[in-house]
Structure formats: structure tokens, C-alpha cells
Amino acid sequence: MAAIEPGRICYKTKGRDAGKKLVVTAVEGSFATVIGSNGKNEKCNIRHLFPTKSKVEIKNKSVEEIVKSIKSVGEALG
């Protein structure tokens, strides 16, 4: 099992988004494409991500649905 995989909820550890929750949508080498609570797709180095145990289903979901799932899981995480 890979720690950084599509659907995994992660915390960003570096940069202006440090401490925010993100969902990984794709992994390409040492980079991951993530969606944050702002709904924007960003490319991020996987060294800057801290994975959680939580995972959400992202297949066939719109960006708005993914953002809602980040917020609902985020409330459970604290």
C-alpha cells in the first residue's frame, strides 16, 4: 500500500498552504496533483505532504463534491 495515493487525505507541510487538508487526485513520479478546500488543482512535491489514515472516493466526482468530502472528513479529524 502506497502512503500517497489517489483519494488519500493529506496535510500540506510546507509553503503558503502549510497545515491545510488536501486530497490527492494523481501521483506522477515524485509529484502529486492535489485539490484543496479552495477547489484548485495544484501540483505538489510528495515530500511536502503528510498522509492521514482517511481516504475518500474521488472517481466520477466533481470538484465540488471532493471539496465537500474534504470538509466533512476534516471535521472528523479535528
Domains and CATH numbers, the chain: 8-77 (2.30.30.30)
Per-residue pLDDT tens over the stretch 61-74? 888 888 888 877 76
The confidence score (pLDDT) of residue 77 equals: 60
Say whether 45 sits in a helix, a strand or coil: strand
> How many whole angstroms separate alpha carbon 42 and alpha carbon 76?
24
> How many whole angstroms separate alpha carbon 66 and alpha carbon 34?
11
Query: Looking at the predicted structure, is the pLDDT value of residue 40 above 90?
Result: no
The confidence score (pLDDT) of residue 6 equals: 93
